[in-house]
Structures are given as structure tokens and as C-alpha cells.
Structure 1
Amino acid sequence: MDPLFNTTGISPLTISSNDTNNGTDHWNQFVQPAWRIILWATAYSCIVIVSVVGNVIVIWIIVAHKRMRTVTNYFLLNLAFAEASMSAFNTVINFIYAVHNEWYFGLVYCRFHNFFPIAAVFASIYSMTAIALDRYMAIIHPLQQRMSSTETKVVVGVIWVLALLLAFPQYYYSTTDQLPDRVVCYIDWPDFAVCDIKKMYSVSVAILLYFLPLMVMGCAYLVVGLTLWASEIPGDSSDRYREQLTAKRKVVKMMIMVVCTFAICWLPYHVYFLLHQFYPEAFGERFIQQIYLAIMWLAMSSTMYNPIIYCCLNDRFRAGFKQAFRCCPCIPRGSYEGLELKSTRYLQTQTSVYKASRVEMTVSTVLQSEEDLKQPQVKVIGSTGSVEAVTGAGPHGVCQKQYQSCPVSTTAIII
């Protein structure tokens, strides 16, 4: 009954250790009372609703607004698609199978059910890894060329190809079995004398889907964090520089929050199934079902937190969510108009107004400088008695001087 890494011949929640002795070889002992099923159903329904709605809005914000189509946001788009798909196609089925321990959906969906979650989780975690590496290159090596939109799409495509290849064994060996009282969906791993393919695959999946990418992201964000917060970055101290530094810190802070949330939500799940591979006899007790439902809820809930994090920590996404929920009475009208989610026409108009104001300011400054040039302000008398007239500053702020002789030392006298 393992929705992601089912590596048992029959689900760990299918048969208890005493079933054979009692003569009930295939009796389903994990039937729950109705009130408990209702509580779990409510908890899982919240995941599906929040995750699907939130991630679909994130996709809309990035796709519908041209200025949101950045390298980082393309990877966030891929992350949102993977999480929304997993919530829509697997979370509810996982819950139904976990509660009843009976498969109602046929062989085709059994294979998809075991295949797609691994691909989706792989796409999610490596999208976050790509963002971490992109942030590392942008901040640590700012002079190197960034990825273009085409290159970003190629990387996303490569991520999905690798994800499908990693998940293919789950699809290939998935099958259903008709027991006397119910149907079960499981992965029928072949037996090899050389190695235990079940344990080897489970350990490989845990490393590739969790420990390796988290280690890479941890190292990348550690260096980036030290650069942005614990040391001075070479450059000027202008307002523009400070704004860029603040923007970089916000993006990095948001992504660190996303990665930490993923790590916390999925750690119990990977530990659970690694322990199941090496200590399967401990997973036949009745209470294991409740532990599994809680662990699976925590893992699936990781799909609903990211839209909330984007909305709380990013001004543009917050404006996009307000625009998506503008029909709600609690959203003030006009509060979502701005933050670079304007239309292209508006941005062009604002740019034209800005340029016009700059031209007007420049012309005014030049005229004022020409007036100042007409009036001398300082007379300089050298020690040799020579006179130097100093006029007003020119257009470039350089004093215009007329020398009658070259004095050795001067004394300024204001006229």
C-alpha cells in the first residue's frame, strides 16, 4: 500500500503476523470507524483544495504576467505544476487506499499511482535545486551570463526526463492481485540472487529524491547566505544597489523557507519506508495504519505550503493573489494594482513619463548653469599681485578660470 515507494510484495497494512495462524489469511484488520475516517477525510481534503487552488494561481501569475517570466519563476512554475498534479491525481487515491486497504481503480491507474508521485517529487526537488544553483551563480558569480528562457525550458525538460526514468521501475513492476475479499495494488519486484532489488531501489530513491538534492541546496544557500548577510559585497552604496541587495535577500529567504518546509515534511516519510525495508516485521501492528496516515498527510501537505510562502514573502506574488481573489470583499480595490504586475501599456506609459521628466529636469539644469556662468563669484589675488577671476560652475561642475598670471599662492576674496 505504499503510494510512492511500494517495495513489498503485499502492502504492510494488508496482512498481520497472526492472520495465518488464525485461519484468516487475507482478512482486512485495518477497517476504521466512521468518525475517524471523517476526520482523516477532512484533513486530506484541505490539502487537496489548498494545494490545487494555490498552485494553479501561482501558475497563472507567472504565465499571465510577462514581467514574472524570469529564470527563477520558470522553475517555480514547474514546481507548482508538479505539486498541483500530485495533489489532484494521487492524494485522494492515497487516502482511500490507506483507509480501506482495498484497490478500486484497476491495473492502469495502479501503475500510474505508483509511477507518477516519484516523477512529481523528483521534478519538485530538482526544480528547487536548480533555483538554488541559479541564485548561487547570480550572487557569487554575477559577471557570468545567466541562463536564458530557452535554456531554462531545456533544463526543465531534462528534469522531467530523468524523473520519468527513475520512476519507470515502479510502473513496470506494478500489478494488482485479487484476494478472496478485496483487490490490492502493489509492486511485484523480481527476485535476484545477486542483490535485493527492493532495498537497493528504495535506498537509491531516498538518496536521489531527498538527501542528495538537500545537501546540494544546503551548501549553495550557505555560501549565498554568508555572502548576502555576513560579509560586505563590493560595490557602491547607492540606493539602487541597496534595493538590489534587499531584493536578492528576499528571494533567497523565500527559497530557504521552501526548502526547509520540504525537508521537514518529507523526512518522516523517507525514514518510515527505509525502516520498513530493513525491519518489515514491525509494520504489521494495527496502530501502524494511523502512523502511516499521519506521515503521509505530512508529506502530501508539502504541496500546499509553497503558495502560502510565496504570498507572504514576495510582493509580486502577493499582488497576484490579491488580483486572483479580487472578488472577495476583504480585498481592497486597487491594492493589487502595482508591484510590476501592470500591463505592458501601463509600463510603457510610466517609462515615457519618467523619461520626459528626466529631459525636463536636464534642460532646466543646463539653463540655470548658463545663467550662473554670466556672473563671476570669486576674485582671487595671488601673492604676486595677479588677479584671477573665478566664474560659476559649468554644466559639468568644473570651475571656469581665466588666469592673468600664475600665482605661487592665492587668497580667495568673496566679492
Structure 2
Amino acid sequence: AGTQTRLASVLPPPPKRSEGEQLSLLEGNEVPCSDSVGHGTFLIVAYSAVIAVGLIGNLCLVCVIVQQKEMRNVTNIFIANLSCSDILMSLVCMPITVIYTLMDRWILGEVLCKASPFVQCASVTVSILSLAWIALERHQLIINPTGWKPAASHAYLAVALTWAVACFISLPFLSFTVLTNEPFRNLSLPFNPFADHLACIEHWPSDEQRLTYTTFLLLFQYCLPLCLIMACYFRIFLRLQRRKDMVERAKEGSRATSHRRVSVMLACLVVAFAACWLPLTVFNALYDWDHEKIPVCYHNFIFSLCHLTAMASTCTNPIAYGFLNSNFQKEVKALLYRCSCSGHEKDKYESFPLSTVSTEISKASLRSGGGCPEEL
């Protein structure tokens, strides 16, 4: 049987000590690893900041897209879907990782033991597939502007299919994630101070099945989607660069600039996603093939840093798409304005075009810069 960690892991794998190391530790010949208060404080503060930014930012993004009917185009539907998966990771995966890492044992019960890696695997899959759908939609819009264009109904169908596929490929976590004291009872000693501790680990029938599934997830969740996305954006940038005809530029310059700006922004989301998940990917590979390179005493802390970097991807969506976008900031202010003025008569709104979306801004808010309009 084998245990494994991978992109979908929300839980640090048990450190691999040799029997000699464990014997020396338990017999008192070796100074045990001491938990650093500084490390724990850093993890709590860092995870709390990422959770707050990811949760609030993505909630604002989803609310704006849901509230504004004109914003429910294909790209924004996938953006909202990406935000939903990020919200799920912020609510479930990150808090559990902090608790498990700091406690160094599992205290949350069997249900959460199985559910946590399942949720993260599904969320990661939804995120990368949403980015792939966005890239394909942009590719069709720019490379073949007069051809077939997906409608919002097609986007909703793709979102449903994405979640179905993500849940399906995550099912092995429900079967092979177990709650056990195995990592703490590897030695037959008269006294084992860790015998009653539990760990939440993957326990596979064979190493071959484990490695097959691991390889599949690495390809399906990371390598293949990123190759497809990079190919799409590479063709998009080539097409935008080749528009050198001055007449065409004069006629479609504004549209080309809009396409270029939006494509750059979306490509940055992909680069940020790939960069955020790279450290955890490297850690997983190192753990599988050469675990002795990972210092035992800093094993959980290193995993947490890699996992924290991966979780930081939940913040890139609202930051890149939203808070660096002045139009989105206006939408959030208009949303807060409407909430604060819910007791007054409905405002009249005027539509303004965004890059690929339209938005509604309150005339009263634009005139007064805030404050509810007086009732007539």
C-alpha cells in the first residue's frame, strides 16, 4: 500500500523517517523537532490574510456579475465559476490545512478527512478548466471573429459539465483517504507517546494504482490544460500583432486595443495560477522520489508554504480582474450604494461598455458621488 500527496492535497503527508531516526527520537538519543512559535504565528497570519482577500474579493466579483444582467456574458460566467471554486477553497481547504499542520495530527473526524482532499481536488480542476474555457472562448472571438460564438447558455452547460467531471475524477479521495494511527505506530517499542494520535492519509491498494492516479492528475490538472491555454493565447497575441493594415487599424483600432488589454489580463491570470501551483507540484515530486531531501523537522512548514503559495491563486482572480479594474471598482461601489439605499425608490441606471462586458452605474451615484437620492 502507498500514501501520496499531489496538487489536490489539502493535508501535509506524514514525514518519512527511517526506523533508526524514529528509534533515536523515541529513546531520547536525538533532540525532537521543536515547534516554532514564529512559524505557527506566520502560518496563521498568512493564511488568514489569504482567506480574507480570497473570500471577500471573490464574493464581490460573483455578486457584481450576478446582480448586473448585462455582465452575464460567456467570459464573465467562467470568471464567476472560477471565483466560486476559489471561495470553496477559502472556506474549506485553507482552514483545515492550518489546523492539521499546527496540531500535527488529525482532530476533525473521518468525514472531513475524506471530504477535504475531495473538495480541493474538485476545486483545482474547476479552476484550471474554467481558465481553459476562457482561453478557448477568447481564441474563437479573436481568431475567428465572424464564426460561431458561444452563447451564455453554452457557458452554463460548460460550467455544469466542468463540475461533473471535477467531482468524478476526485472520487478516489473518498475511497482511499483514511483516518489511521499508522504513521505513529511504526515501531514496536514498550512506550510510544504518539500511539493515540491519528493522521489523515491516502492509503492505496498498490503503488501502481497510486502512481497512475498521481500521473493522471498531474497531466489533467496542470500540464495539459496549461499547454492548451498557452497555445490559445500565443495564437491570440500573434493575431493581434499581425494587424498592421492602417485602414483596418483606423477602423478597428479601439476594438483591437480592447481585445489586447483583456487578453493580457486573462493571460496574466493563467501565469499567476501556474506560478502559484508550481511549488506544491515540485514538493509533491520531491516527496515521492527523493523524500530525504526534505528536512524532517521542517517538513510540515515547507508543505504549508507550498500550499499557501498555491492557495494564493484564490486572490489573483479578484485582484487582476477586479481591484485593478476601475470599472469593477465602480460596480462594487454601485452595488454597495444600492444595498444602502434599498429602502428608497429604484434608481435609474445608465449602461457603459466595459472591455467585453457592459455595466450599469447609478446616475445618482455619479452625480453626487455617494449618498441616497432624495425621494420626490
User: TM-score by structure 2 length?
Assistant: 0.80
- The structure 1 residue matched to 2:210, chosen from 174, 198, 209, is 198
Instruction: Give the equivalent residue in structure 1 for 2:198.
Output: 183
Segments of 5+ residues of structure 1 without an aligned counterpart are 328-335, 347-415
Instruction: Give the equivalent residue in structure 2 for 1:127.
Output: 130
User: CA 1:31–1:109 in structure 2 vs 1: closer, same or farther (change >3 Å)?
Assistant: farther
- The structure 1 residue matched to 2:318, chosen from 307, 313, 320, is 307
Does residue 1:341 correspond to 2:359, yes or no? yes
User: CA 1:77–1:5 in structure 2 vs 1: closer, same or farther (change >3 Å)?
Assistant: closer
The one-letter amino acid paired with 1:22 is S
Is the helix fraction higher in 1 or 2? Answer: 2
- The structure 2 residue matched to 1:322, chosen from 322, 329, 333, is 333
Instruction: Give the equivalent residue in structure 2 for 1:37.
Output: 40
Displacement after TM superposition at 1:235 (Å) = 6.8
Instruction: Give the equivalent residue in structure 1 for 2:272.
Output: 261
Instruction: Give the equivalent residue in structure 2 for 1:170.
Output: 173
Instruction: Give the equivalent residue in structure 2 for 1:388.
Output: none
Instruction: Give the equivalent residue in structure 2 for 1:333.
Output: none
Tell me how far apart the structure 2 counterparts of residues 113 and 245 of structure 1 sit (CA, whole Å).
44
Instruction: Give the equivalent residue in structure 2 for 1:76.
Output: 79
The one-letter amino acid paired with 1:269 is L
Displacement after TM superposition at 1:31 (Å) = 5.3
Partner SS state of residue 24, structure 1: helix
User: CA 1:31–1:60 in structure 2 vs 1: closer, same or farther (change >3 Å)?
Assistant: farther
User: TM-score by structure 1 length?
Assistant: 0.73
Higher mean alpha-carbon deviation, 285-294 vs 212-221, is at 285-294
Tell me how far apart the structure 2 counterparts of residues 17 and 42 of structure 1 sit (CA, whole Å).
35
Displacement after TM superposition at 1:30 (Å) = 5.3
The one-letter amino acid paired with 2:234 is L
Q: 2:128·2:225 contact (CA, 8 Å) conserved in 1?
A: yes
Q: Deviations over 1:236-279 (max 9, x none)?
A: 4456x222212211210110110010011101111110221122
Equivalent positions of 1:85-124 (< 5 A) are 85-124=88-127
Displacement after TM superposition at 1:29 (Å) = 5.2
Q: Deviations over 1:321-344 (max 9, x none)?
A: 3335669xxxxxxxx986442279
Higher mean alpha-carbon deviation, 10-19 vs 124-133, is at 10-19
The one-letter amino acid paired with 1:111 is K
Instruction: Give the equivalent residue in structure 1 for 2:346.
Output: none
User: CA 1:18–1:299 in structure 2 vs 1: closer, same or farther (change >3 Å)?
Assistant: farther
Sequence identity percentage: 26
Equivalent positions of 1:12-411 (< 5 A) are 12-13=14-15, 18-22=20-24, 24=26, 32-178=35-181, 179=184, 180-191=195-206, 196-232=208-244, 236-238=248-250, 241-283=252-294, 285-324=296-335, 339=352, 340-342=358-360
The one-letter amino acid paired with 1:258 is L
Query: If you compute each CA radius of gyration, which structure gives the higher value, 1 or 2?
Result: 1
Tell me how far apart the structure 2 counterparts of residues 295 and 28 of structure 1 sit (CA, whole Å).
26
Partner SS state of residue 201, structure 2: strand
Partner SS state of residue 175, structure 1: strand
Q: 1:319·1:338 contact (CA, 8 Å) conserved in 2?
A: no
Tell me how far apart the structure 2 counterparts of residues 173 and 321 of structure 1 sit (CA, whole Å).
43
Q: 1:12·1:284 contact (CA, 8 Å) conserved in 2?
A: no
The one-letter amino acid paired with 1:271 is V
Tell me how far apart the structure 1 counterparts of residues 146 and 82 of structure 2 sit (CA, whole Å).
28
Tell me how far apart the structure 2 counterparts of residues 278 and 3 of structure 1 sit (CA, whole Å).
13
Instruction: Give the equivalent residue in structure 2 for 1:396.
Output: none
Q: 2:10·2:117 contact (CA, 8 Å) conserved in 1?
A: no
Higher mean alpha-carbon deviation, 152-161 vs 14-23, is at 14-23
The one-letter amino acid paired with 2:199 is V
Tell me how far apart the structure 1 counterparts of residues 300 and 244 of structure 2 sit (CA, whole Å).
53
Size of the aligned set, in residue pairs, is 333
- Which structure is richer in relative contact order (CA contacts within 8 A, separation 6 or more)? 2
Instruction: Give the equivalent residue in structure 2 for 1:359.
Output: none
Tell me how far apart the structure 2 counterparts of residues 281 and 39 of structure 1 sit (CA, whole Å).
25
User: CA 1:80–1:28 in structure 2 vs 1: closer, same or farther (change >3 Å)?
Assistant: farther
Higher mean alpha-carbon deviation, 75-84 vs 196-205, is at 196-205
Tell me how far apart the structure 2 counterparts of residues 131 and 59 of structure 1 sit (CA, whole Å).
16
Tell me how far apart the structure 2 counterparts of residues 23 and 29 of structure 1 sit (CA, whole Å).
6
Displacement after TM superposition at 1:95 (Å) = 1.5
